[in-house]
Chain A
C-alpha cells in the first residue's frame, strides 16, 4: 500500500493503531467465516472515534482504496473478508455506552459487544432482548449491519425491530445521524421514523456497503425476571409449527422457542445433553423447547396455562423436560458456539428466515442436501418475533480434508437455491442467495443504483452486499 496513504492514516490515529505488518494483515485476512478464502488486506487501522472514522473514509475515498469495516470478526458468511491490498477499519475502540433511562433507550459505539451491553444494562434491571449466539464476540453495530437476531428475540423480534437510530459515516466521510437524534435538540433516541423515509432501515443489513455504522441507538426493556421452561411434544411438524404461531397469536411471551425434529434433537443432545443434565426421555417426533418469560409472576402463570391449553388443543403433550429450554436459555450468549464446537468439525452456515408454518420445508431441504452430498450437518433455530423462524443450518467438514470442504461449499450453494424456492429469505444479502435469480433482478438493480449514488467510487465493502 502507498506509504503516503499509510502515513496519512498514522497522522489520524497515531502510529500505534495502524499496521502493515505481515503477521497482523494475515490475521485480518479471515474472520469466523469458515469455508471462505483468505484475502490479505494492505493495512489495518483502529480508530477511536467517529471523527477518526470520518477522516479515514475521506482519505480512502480520495485514494479509491476499498474499505472493509470490521468489529467482532465473528460473522460467518464472509462479511468482513477484505479486498486484496485494501483497508480494514477495526472499530472495537469505539466503546462508549450512553443510557437514556427516561427514553428507555441506549446508544452504543460500534465496538460494544452484546455481552458488555448486557452487563451494563443489568445494573439498571434492563436489557436488549436479542442475544446473538456470538453475543460475547459480536458487536451491536455489527449485528445491525448484518440484520441479526438471536435467542431472546422471540418476543420483540430481530435487532432491526429495536433500532431507534444510527450514526453512520458515509463513504465520502460525511457523518449522518438517523432517527430523533438527527435533531440536535432532541433529548435522545426515542423514535426511529423521524424525518421522512426510513434511512435507518436502509442501513440495517447493508453489510457496510453504504457506510460505516459508528453508533447504534436502541430500545431497552425492563428485564424479565420470571421464567418457565418446558418442552412440548407433537407427532407432526405441522402441530409444532401451529403451536408456535398460536403461542404468539395469544400473546404468550416466549423469548426463546425452538422446534426440534427427532434426529436433530438426538444430535444436539449428543453434543450438550449431559452438560445440561437432560434425562433419558422418550422424545416425540417433534419437540418445541420453550422459555416463557415475563416481568411479573401473575403474567407468567397465565402464560403457562395458556401454553399448556394450546398444546392440548393441538393434540400435543407436555414432555416435562425443562432442562432443555433452561440450558438453552441460560447459555444463550454462547449456546451456539459451544454446541457447534463439540465434535471438532468446521462448518458452513446458511442463516435464513422461514415462516414458522413453513418450518418443515427448510428442514426437508437441509436433509435432502446433506443426503445428496453425503455430508454431516444439523439445523437449529429459534422463533424471531411472532412471525418468523430463524434457521441456522450447519454443514460440517473436516478442517484438514480439502475435498470435503469443497463438497460442503457446493452443497451450501445448492442449499441456498433450494431454500429460496421454499420461500425462505436471507436477512443479509449474500451473493449466493440472488446470483442468477431472475425474480430478484429488479430488486438488485435498485440496490445497485443506491450504491452507485451513495458510494460512486465503490470503496465500501465491495462485492459483499449481493455481490455488488
Chain B
C-alpha cells in the first residue's frame, strides 16, 4: 500500500457534499429500497450513516474531535457494505475511503480489531482456533486430497473452522466433477478483516505469507468459497500491495464452468422456493451477480424468487467490515432485519455464497425466530448432484 497523503485523503472526503442520499433513499425505479443498514438498526443519529461518518472522519483527522474510542465509534460501526457508494453521485468510493481512514487512524482504540489482528498473526485465523484443525473436515469426508496441485481450494477461515459444510460441499462438487485439487496443510488467513479494520501493515505482511504458501502448492488456479477471500486475493492484493496472484475464482464462477461443460449431473430437488442474498464482497465489490443465480436456476425443481432490493442495491447482512466483532448485537440485528425481507418473499430457503454472510444470517434468523433455512450455493448444488 502506498503511503497515504493526508491532504489527498481530506480532499477525497470533501467530495461528500453532505446531500444525505446515503441514509435511506428509496428510489423504486432504480431499485433502491433503503441504503444504510446501520442507520436503520440503530438510534439513527447522523453518525450512523456515511454522511455523518465522513464528518467524524474529517474532524478526527484535523483534530476538531478528540481521538477517543467513543468519538471513533461511528467509523467502526460500519459494515463497509458499499451500498452508499452505489447511490453516491460524488467522485469517490465512500466505503473504500472509510477503510483508508481506519488505516490512517489505526491508533484509535478498538479492542476487537486488535484481537483479530493478533489472532491472525499468531494462529492464522481470526477466531483464535487451533490451526491444526484446518483439514479435519477433509478427514471426515474420507477424501484423499493432496496439499499441492495446479488447482488449489483455498478454504478460508470461516468455512475451514466454523461452517465446514461449505468446505465439504465445495470439495464434493469438485470431486464430482473429477477436478484434481489441493487443500493446504496450514492455510493462512487471507487477511481481509485486517484490511477492513485498518491494520494494513500487518495485512501486507500476512499477504506475503499467503502468497508464499500458495506458491508452494504449485497452484495456477485458486478456488475460494468465501466472498471475502475472493475480493481480498483477487482484488486487494494487487491493488493495495501490487502482488501478482494466480487466477482466483469463486466456486460459483467455477461451478458455472463445470455446468457448462456438463461435468456435473443434476437431479431435481422437490419444488423448493429459494431466494438469494447477494454478499457485498461478491456482488458490489466483484460484480458477480448472475453466476450464483444461474447455478440455482440450473437445478431442476428450484424456484428462485428475488428479495427486494437485490444485486447492486442489496442490503448487507451486517457481518462485514469488522462489525460482527466490533458490535455483534448490532450485526445480528441487521441480519434479523434482512431475514424479515427474505420472509416476505415466501421462500423457505435463503441461499448465499459467503460463509460469513451465512453465519450472520443464521444468527439473525435465530434472533427473529424465523424458520427459513440459510444455506450456501454449494450446499444446494451438492444436494442436486446425482
With A116-B24, A344-B91 already in contact, 7 other A-B pairs whose C-beta atoms are closer than 8 Å: A17-B43, A22-B71, A136-B32, A136-B87, A137-B20, A347-B17, A399-B14
- Write 17 A-B pairs (CB below 8 A) sorted by A numbering: A19-B45, A23-B70, A23-B71, A23-B73, A27-B47, A27-B51, A27-B56, A73-B51, A74-B20, A90-B44, A113-B26, A134-B20, A136-B25, A136-B27, A136-B32, A137-B23, A330-B29
Would you call B21 and A136 a contact (CB within 8 A)? yes
Binds B, one of A28-36, A253-261, A286-294: A28-36
B10 contacts the other chain (CB 8 A): yes
Cross-chain contact of B19 among A24, A32, A122, A344 (Cβ < 8 A):
A32
A5 contacts the other chain (CB 8 A): no
Whole-angstrom distance between the alpha carbons of A346 and B15 in the complex? 8
A119-B33, A330-B29 as given contacts; A22 in contact with B65, CB under 8 Å: yes
Whole-angstrom distance between the alpha carbons of A113 and B23 in the complex? 11
Would you call B20 and A92 a contact (CB within 8 A)? no
A428 contacts the other chain (CB 8 A): no
Whole-angstrom distance between the alpha carbons of A135 and B32 in the complex? 13
| Contact partners of B27 in chain A: CB under 8 A | 115, 135-136, 333-334
B46-87 vs A, CB cutoff 8 Å, 1 = contact: the mask equals 110001100110010000111000110110000000000001
**Most B CB atoms within 10 A — which of A26, A135, A330, A340?**
A26
A321-360 vs B, CB cutoff 8 Å, 1 = contact: the mask equals 0000000001001100110111010110000000000000
B90 contacts the other chain (CB 8 A): yes
**Nearest 4 CB-CB pairs, A to B?**
A27-B46, A136-B25, A27-B52, A341-B89
| Contact partners of B240 in chain A: CB under 8 A | none
| Contact partners of B33 in chain A: CB under 8 A | 119
B265 contacts the other chain (CB 8 A): no
Would you call B56 and A23 a contact (CB within 8 A)? yes
A400 contacts the other chain (CB 8 A): yes
| Contact partners of B344 in chain A: CB under 8 A | none
Chain A minimum-CB-distance residue to B25? A136
A52 contacts the other chain (CB 8 A): no
Would you call A115 and B26 a contact (CB within 8 A)? yes
Whole-angstrom distance between the alpha carbons of A26 and B28 in the complex? 32
| Contact partners of A333 in chain B: CB under 8 A | 27, 29
A206-250 vs B, CB cutoff 8 Å, 1 = contact: the mask equals 000000000000000000000000000000000000000000000
B11 contacts the other chain (CB 8 A): yes
Would you call B11 and A24 a contact (CB within 8 A)? no
Whole-angstrom distance between the alpha carbons of A418 and B243 in the complex? 59
A85 contacts the other chain (CB 8 A): no
B96 contacts the other chain (CB 8 A): no
B18 contacts the other chain (CB 8 A): yes
Whole-angstrom distance between the alpha carbons of A199 and B56 in the complex? 41
- Nearest CB of chain A from residue B261's CB, rounded to whole Å: 38
| Contact partners of A73 in chain B: CB under 8 A | 18, 20, 46, 51
- Nearest CB of chain B from residue A339's CB, rounded to whole Å: 8
A438 contacts the other chain (CB 8 A): no
**Most A CB atoms within 10 A — which of B11, B18, B56?**
B18
Would you call A341 and B44 a contact (CB within 8 A)? no
A46 contacts the other chain (CB 8 A): yes
Whole-angstrom distance between the alpha carbons of A34 and B20 in the complex? 13
A136-B32, A341-B89 as given contacts; A46 in contact with B44, CB under 8 Å: yes
A119-B26, A338-B89, A342-B91 as given contacts; A26 in contact with B21, CB under 8 Å: no
Whole-angstrom distance between the alpha carbons of A28 and B89 in the complex? 22
| Contact partners of A344 in chain B: CB under 8 A | 15, 90-91
Whole-angstrom distance between the alpha carbons of A136 and B87 in the complex? 10
A72 contacts the other chain (CB 8 A): yes
Whole-angstrom distance between the alpha carbons of A28 and B47 in the complex? 9
A32-B19, A44-B45, A341-B89 as given contacts; A26 in contact with B65, CB under 8 Å: yes
Chain A minimum-CB-distance residue to B12? A344
